[in-house]
Amino acid sequence: MSLGFDFGTANCCVAHLVEGKVSPIPLVDDNIYLPSTLCAPNAESVSEYLFRCLDITPSNDTNQAVLRRAIKINREEGLDIHADDVKFGHQALKLYLEDPKDVYFVKSPKSFLGAMGLRDMQLSYFEDLVCAMMSNIKRSAEANTNQSFEQTVIGRPVNFLGRGGEASNIQAVDILTRAAKRAGFKDIEFQYEPVAAGLDFEATLTTDQNVLVVDIGGGTTDCSMIQMGPSWQGKMERKESLLAHTGQMVGGNDLDIFIAFRCLMTEFGLGSKLKSGLDLPLIQFWNAIAINDVQAQRDFYAHDNLSMLRQFHKEALEPQKLQRLVALHQETLGHSVIHQAELAKIAMSEQTDYVTNIDLVSEAFEVATDRASIDAAIENPMNKIRALVQEAVTQSGIKPDVIYMTGGSSRSTALTSAVASVLPNTEIISGNYFGSVTAGLTHWANLIYR
C-alpha cells in the first residue's frame, strides 16, 4: 500500500486512497495533523530511542558513532530510555512548556536539513530526528488502518535553503530518504509540494488553464506556474506542464520570528541602551528567537553567552528587561516566546488587537499587539514572498489565469494581499490550507505505484 506523506515544517499529515478517494489518516486520536515537534529527556535520547525501543539500526558508520556517543552520555547521566520518554506533536509541546529547562525540544527539524557547513555527526543526528518522527507517523497510520505501508511519495519544497542552492537540496533529500528507509518504507519518491497542491486543484478544472500555485508553508514558500486541466489529468510525465519554479526558505515560522522580534523582544530589552549610551547588540535578541537557525540558537544558548548577558544586565539602563533575556536563556524559553507570537499571528486573521502572555517561570507579563504592528513586523518576509511570485511569472513568461494559494500560512490576510499586489487583476482561489499537498501526494503515489 502507498502513502502520501506531507512531512511539513509546521505539521505532518499522511493519507491513502480508499475507493478512489483521498482518506487522511488520524495520527493522534481523531487529529489528522501532527505538529512537527519532538521532545525527549535530552538530545542523545533520540538516537538510543530508535535503537533500543524501535529496533531501528544505524544507516552508516557515522550513525553508529552517534549511537555509541548517545548511549555513553545517557549511561553517565543515569538515563534509561523507554518508549514513552520521546513525545511527538502536541504532547511534545505540552511537555516542553511544562518544564522547558530540563527537556530537549525540537520544532520543525525540516528547516535544518538544508543547512550548509554541518559536520557529518550533526547530519546523522538530524537523520535520527527525522527517522523518529517518520517512524512514529508510519506506525500510527498502520495501527489506525490495519494496513502496512511500504511505498510513499514525500513532499519537498523547491528549495530547502536558499543560500545553499542545489547542494542544500541534495543534502536534505538524502537525509529524508535515509530516514524514510530506516522507518520502514521500501519505495520512496518525492514530489514538489506546490506541484502536489496543484494536482489536487486540477481535479476541479473543466478547461486547461495556466495556474500559479503559491504554497506558503511553515518553513518555505514555493511558487509553480503549471499548465493544468483535463488534458493533463492522469499523466505520469508532467515536465512539459511545469513552466516555472521558485522557492525560498521563508514561511510561517519566519512570520512568527519577525513578530516575536519586532513586537515582543522590546520587553526583553530590544531598543534599550547601556549606561554608556551604546545600543544593546541586536544579534542577542534575534538569536534568542531564531528557532530555525541552528548556529544562531547555538550561539545564544552557549555558556559563554550567558556571562555576556549578565554583564549587559549590570550595565543596562533598563535592567529589569535584560533580566528577562537572562531568564529566557537560563530556562531555554525561545520556543515559548515564538509560540506566543504564532498565537498573535493567528488571532490577527480575525481581530485587530491581541494580548500575548509571556511566562518566564520567574515572571509572567502581558504584551499588547495590534494588526498594524503585526503587518509592519512581517514586511520583510512578505517582500520575499512577493519577489518569489514575480520571479515565477518572469520565468514562465506568461500571466496566470488563476492563482491557487495553499499552505497553512496562506490563511494570513496580509500574505494574500501581498500576493494580490503582484498580480492585482488575477483571481485568487484558496485551497485546503493544510490538506491539498497531502491529497496531491496521495494521488501521485497511486499513479506511480499502481
What the block records as the C-alpha cell of 9 is: 515544517
Mean pLDDT of 105-133: 91
- How crowded is the C-beta side of 378, counted as CA atoms within 13 Å? 30
Residue 292: DSSP 8-state: T
Integer Cα distance of 51 and 37 in angstroms: 20
> What are the residue boundaries of the structural domains of the chain, listed by start?
2-185, 207-432
Residue 25 confidence (pLDDT) = 97
If phi > 0 it is left, if psi is from -120 to 50 it is alpha, else beta; for residue 423 that is beta
Percent over 90 (pLDDT), the chain: 69
Residue 111 confidence (pLDDT) = 84
Integer Cα distance of 183 and 175 in angstroms: 12
* 295/68: higher pLDDT: 68
The answer to whether 114 touches 1, Cβ cutoff 8 Å, is no
- Digit-coded pLDDT (tens) for 178-207: 999 999 999 999 998 888 888 878 888 999
Residue 396 confidence (pLDDT) = 96
Residue 407 confidence (pLDDT) = 81
Question: Which class does domain 2-185 fall in?
Answer: alpha beta
Distances in Å between the alpha carbon of 258 and those of 29, 178, 185, 252, 255? Answer: 33, 33, 37, 10, 5
Of 337, 396, 391, 393, the residue nearest 361 (C-alpha): 337
pLDDT band at 39 (very low <50, low <70, confident <90, very high): very high
Mean pLDDT of 344-358: 90
Integer Cα distance of 211 and 214 in angstroms: 9
| Cα dihedral sign, 16-128-37-167 | negative
Residue 261: DSSP 8-state: I
Mean pLDDT of 3-17: 93
33-37, 148-152, 345-349: least confident range:
345-349
- CATH topology match: 2-185 vs 207-432: yes
Residue 414 confidence (pLDDT) = 78
Of 219, 276, 290, 299, the residue nearest 253 (C-alpha): 219
Helix (H, G, I), strand (E, B) or coil at 294: helix
The DSSP H or E segment spanning 380 is helix 379-396
Strands 402-406 and 209-216: parallel
pLDDT band at 434 (very low <50, low <70, confident <90, very high): low
Residue range 207-432, CATH number: 3.30.420.40
Residue 321 confidence (pLDDT) = 97
331 exposure class (CB count in 10 Å sphere: 0-12, 13-18, 19+): middle
DSSP secondary structure string for all residues of 21-40: EEEE--SBTTB--EESEEEE
DSSP secondary structure string for all residues of 68-85: HHHHHHHHHTT----GGG
Residue 163 confidence (pLDDT) = 61
Helix (H, G, I), strand (E, B) or coil at 66: helix
Give, to the nearest 10 degrees, the angle between helix 193-202 and helix 436-449: 90
* 245/14: higher pLDDT: 14
The answer to whether 168 touches 20, Cβ cutoff 8 Å, is no
- Digit-coded pLDDT (tens) for 385-409: 999 999 999 999 999 999 999 887 7
- Digit-coded pLDDT (tens) for 263-310: 999 999 999 999 999 999 999 999 999 988 878 888 999 889 999 999
What value does the CA radius of gyration of the chain take, rounded to a whole number of Å?
22
Percent over 70 (pLDDT), the chain: 98
Residue 2 confidence (pLDDT) = 95
Helix ranges (H only) for 397-423 are 413-422
Integer Cα distance of 218 and 310 in angstroms: 34
- Digit-coded pLDDT (tens) for 306-332: 999 999 999 999 999 999 999 999 999
- Digit-coded pLDDT (tens) for 120-152: 999 999 999 999 999 999 999 999 999 999 999
DSSP secondary structure string for all residues of 312-362: HHHHBSSHHHHHHHHHHHHHT-HHHHHHHHHHHHHHTTT-SEEEEEEE-SS
**Cβ contacts of residue 415 below 8 Å, gap of 6+?**
216, 382, 385, 409
Residue 67 confidence (pLDDT) = 95
Of 15, 158, 280, the residue nearest 6 (C-alpha): 15
Distances in Å between the alpha carbon of 221 and those of 216, 244, 291? Answer: 4, 14, 18
Residue 115 confidence (pLDDT) = 85
| Cα dihedral sign, 37-39-289-98 | positive
Residue 233 confidence (pLDDT) = 84
pLDDT at residue 162 is higher than 60: no
Helix (H, G, I), strand (E, B) or coil at 184: coil
Helix (H, G, I), strand (E, B) or coil at 15: strand
What the block records as the C-alpha cell of 22 is: 483521498
Strands 402-406 and 364-370: unpaired
Residue 118 confidence (pLDDT) = 85
Residue 271 confidence (pLDDT) = 94
